[in-house]
Amino acid sequence: MAYLEVTNLWKSFGDTESVLQGLGFAQERGEILCLLGASGCGKTTVLQILAGLMQADSGRVRLGGRDQDGIPVHARRIGYVFQDHVLFPHLSVRRNVEYGLRMLKWPSRQRGRRVHEMLELVDLAGYGERPVRGLSGGESQRVALARSLAPAPDLLLLDEPLSSVDQRLRGDLVAQLRSVLETQSITAVHVTHDLEEAYFMGDRVAFVHGGRVNRVDAPSALVANPATVACARYLGMGNIFALDTPAGKRLREWATSSAGTGERGGTNATHLLIRPRTVLQPGHGDARPGLRCSGTVASLRPKVNEVQVELRLAQPDLEGATIRLDLARTGIRRELQTALEASAREQGARPWILGSEGIAWLSE
C-alpha cells in the first residue's frame, strides 16, 4: 500500500466545468512527487484538498493508511509552503519558525533546539532575531520552509515556492530545497509549471492535464517517452503528426517499415512524434538503420550550442510536412554540414536518414 493515496478526486466551482475530473496518484514514503502542468489545471486545488483547506466534491485521500476525510486541518500533520511565503511580518525569524511548535505546545527548551536545527538546515543560522521584513525573497522562502518542517510533518506540500524568487537565485534554491527534503526524508508534493524545476526536484513527475494525471513517471523517462500528445506538447516537443488521415496512414507505414521498428507500442497510437533531437545523416547507406526520406533544408538557424534545421520532406513521405530538428553542434560532422548547406543553398531535395530512436508513439 502506498503512503499517500489520492483516488478519483472531483472538484468544481459553481456551474463551471470541473477543475478536477477523477484525478488520482499514489506516492511512496520519502518520495518527492512534482505535479507539473499549466496554470489553472488544478494543481493548487489538489494541495488544498490534501491539506484540508478545501473539500473535494468526491474522491478519497489516504495518508499512512488513514482516511483523511473529516480530519481537521490542525490535526493532519501536513506542512504547507505557500507561493507568497505568508510569514508573520511583526514576528522575528525565530518566532515565525517556532509558531507551529507553540501551537503544538512544545516545551520552551525543545522549541529552541528545534528552531536552531531548522535554521541551520536552511542555511540561516544566526538569523533568529532578525525581523522578517528585511529579508530577501530567497531568505523569506527558506524561513517559510523551516517553519513548515519544524513540527516534523507527515507530508509537506509546496505550492510553486520559488515562483516569486529572483530567476538568478532559483537554481541554487532548487538545489538547496531538494537537499533539505532528502536530508529529512520528507514525503513531499511539489507543484510547479516549470519543467526544469520539476526535472530536478522530483523523484517522479505527474503531468496534470484536463483535470487528471495525464502521465506520471521518473523525470528522465517522462521526457524520453511523453506517451501522450498533451504531455509532449507541454514539454515543448514539435513534429507531432496525427495518424487518422490518409497521410497519417502512410506516415505510420513509413515509420514502422523504414526504421524496422515494428509497432513498438504504436498499435493504439493516435499520433507519431519525431523528436527534435533526432540524429540526422545524409544519404541512404544500406548499412545504416533509420527513417529513410528525402527532403529539402528550408532553413538553417545557428544557436549557441546547436543548429536548428527545418527539413521539408518530399512526397510521399509526409506530404511535404516540415520537421524541425535541433542538432547539437558537436554532432555535426563535415559530411552532414556540407549536405545541409548544399540543400539549403540549392533548395533541392536530398536523401536523408533520421535516427529511429527519435520515434515515439503517442495517444490522446
* 47: exposed, middle or buried (Cβ count in 10 Å: 0-12, 13-18, 19+): buried
Q: Are residues 274 and 173 in the same domain?
A: no
Cell numbers for 364: 490522446
**Average pLDDT over the chain, rounded to whole?**
88
Of the pLDDT bands very low, low, confident and very high (cuts 50, 70, 90), residue 168 is low
Task: Report the CATH number that the domain containing residue 111 is assigned in CATH.
Answer: 3.40.50.300
- Is pLDDT above 80 for 257? no
pLDDT-derived band at 303, boundaries 50, 70, 90: confident
Q: What is the pLDDT of residues 2-33, one digit of tens each?
A: 999 999 999 999 878 899 999 999 999 999 99
pLDDT tens, position by position, 308-351: 999 998 866 566 688 899 998 887 888 999 999 999 999 888 99
* Across 54-67, average pLDDT: 95
The pLDDT score that the predictor gives to residue 363 is 92
Q: Which DSSP string corresponds to 26-89?
A: EE-TT-EEEEE--TTSSHHHHHHHHHTSS--SEEEEEETTEE-TT--GGGS-EEEE-TT----T
Average pLDDT over residues 63-85: 89
Identify whether the C-beta of residue 163 lies closer than 8 Å to the C-beta of residue 94. no
**Predicted TM-score of the model (pTM):** 0.87
Chain centroid to Cα 302, Å, comes to 28
- Examine the domain organization and report whether 134 and 169 are in the same domain: yes
Q: Are residues 265 and 150 in the same domain?
A: no
Of 356 and 295, more confident: 295
Query: Residue 6 is placed in which grid cell?
Result: 489520492
Domains in the chain: how many in total?
2
Residue among 2, 16, 65, 21 nearest 210 (CA): 21
Closest CA to 206 of 197, 193, 219, 215: 215
Nearest CA-CA partner of 150 in 66, 93, 69, 72: 93
The answer as to whether 76 is a domain residue is yes
Does any domain span residue 230?
A: no
- Which of 225, 254, 285 finishes a domain? 225
User: How would residue 134 be classed by pLDDT, with cut points 50, 70 and 90?
Assistant: confident
Residues 221 and 255 in one domain: no
Whether residues 117 and 56 share a domain: the answer is yes
Answer yes or no: do 286 and 198 share one domain.
no
The three grid cell numbers given for residue 184, joined into one nine-digit string: 529529512
What confidence score (pLDDT) does residue 151 get? Answer: 92
Question: Where is average pLDDT lowest: 80-84, 252-256, 279-283?
Answer: 252-256
pLDDT of residue 263 exceeding 50: no
Block residue for cell numbers 520519502: 30
Asked which of 164-178, 188-202, 281-295 is least confident by mean pLDDT, the reply is: 164-178
Lowest mean pLDDT among 99-103, 130-134, 315-319, 345-349: 315-319
pLDDT at position 138? 83
Tell me: the pLDDT tens digits for 34-43? 999 998 899 9
